[in-house]
């Protein structure tokens, strides 16, 4: 999508619908048995793990926080889809 395409959008209706569609997609994918297993593994591996380890370079904390943010974003979209 280019800047011209973005400028052509006259309302936020397209953006809101895309946001809702993506949330519903996340809910459908992670509502299955396999999806729940995958989300459990993602949470255990990235969300429940420590961000920083004493003695490690600080850049690892930023990297780990980025991984955690992706999983938390998925979780937030699933929660949002349940309210639609």
Burial of 84 (0-12, 13-18, 19+ CB in 10 A): exposed
Q: 35, 29 in Cβ contact below 8 A?
A: yes
**Distance of alpha carbon 69 from alpha carbon 49, whole angstroms:** 12
**Distance of alpha carbon 74 from alpha carbon 77, whole angstroms:** 5
What per-residue confidence (pLDDT) applies to 4?
72
pTM of the model: 0.76
Tens-digit pLDDT profile for residues 1-26: 677 776 666 555 656 778 999 999 99
Domain boundaries, the chain: 11-82
What per-residue confidence (pLDDT) applies to 7?
66
């Amino acid at each position: 999508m280019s800047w011209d395409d973005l400028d052509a959008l006259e309302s936020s209706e397209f953006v809101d619908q895309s946001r809702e569609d993506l949330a519903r997609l996340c809910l459908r994918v992670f509502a299955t048995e396999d999806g729940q297993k995958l989300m459990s593994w993602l949470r255990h591996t990235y969300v429940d793990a420590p961000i920083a380890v004493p003695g490690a370079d600080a850049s690892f904390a930023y990297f780990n926080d980025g991984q955690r943010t992706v999983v938390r974003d998925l979780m937030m979209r699933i929660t949002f889809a349940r309210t639609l």
